[in-house]
Amino acid sequence: MIPGIVAGAPVEGGGGGTWEIADAVSLTAVESGYGGYTVRLRADEVRLLVGSKVRLTLDFTGQPYNILAAYCGIASPTGDPWDFAAPPEQVTFGGSPTASGSNAILDTDEIDVAIASGQDLLFAIAFAPSSNIRYQPRSGYDYYYIGGNDAAAETPSGTYTTGGTSYAAIVTVIEVLQP
């Protein structure tokens, strides 16, 4: 848990609802060399709340990042664990589909992904060179990676490598808009 953040605590929001923290984790380990790769993080339904939109906080503390593209959606209940159930929504950062820098906590804009009970969330992010990721053992999460920019693909044609089962990566906070 991140100091000062309580899972399930209301967060200032709008749009006719309240932003609730579905999960928060402190990412302490670092893995380098993810430039030129797409990473997909799957959060299982145990970690999520039912809601109409999501926001994510990405942790690049002390690390460089160069995001080419990011997408978010509901994970497919069948097929490969890195497949989206439907075409994913493009993720933006302050209105931009790309972001780069170092040593930052980066918030996404609101993402139009409705989560129903029993659904898993899938987040895909493609990195340009000079990008590292932070991760931490955490049940309910798995992450996968593949070479190239494959973030937008609903059902990728390639086979992803498992980066970690029961590991959270990149995403440190998941917020869900509650009615």
Over residues 118-131, the pLDDT tens digits come to 999 999 999 998 89
Segment 157-166 long-range contacts (CB within 8 Å, at least 24 positions apart): 159/80, 160/40, 160/80, 160/82, 163/31, 163/39, 163/135, 164/135, 164/137, 166/137, 166/138, 166/139, 166/140, 166/141, 166/142
6, two tokens: 């309580």
Q: Note the pTM of the prediction, 2 decimals.
A: 0.90
Dist CA 44 CA 168 (whole Å): 11
CA–CA gap between residue 151 and residue 50 (Å, rounded):
24
Q: Give the CA radius of gyration of the chain.
A: 15
Q: What's the pLDDT band for 2 if we cut at 50, 70, 90?
A: very low
User: pLDDT by residue (tens digit) across 76-119?
Assistant: 999 899 999 999 999 999 999 999 999 999 999 999 999 999 99
Average pLDDT over residues 134-161: 94
Answer with the residue of higher pLDDT: 125 or 48. 125
d(CA 70, CA 56): 11
45 phi/psi in degrees, rounded to 5: -60, -20
Which has more pLDDT, 61 or 48?
Answer: 61
Alpha-carbon span 125 to 58, nearest angstrom:
11
Q: DSSP for 51-64, please give it.
A: BS-EEEEEEEEEEE
The b-or-e profile of 26-39 (16+ CB within 10 A means b, else e) is ebeeeeeebebbbb
CA dihedral 3, 103, 127, 176 (to 10 degrees): 30
Lowest mean pLDDT among 11-20, 50-59, 84-93, 103-112: 11-20
Q: What is the DSSP letter of 111?
A: B
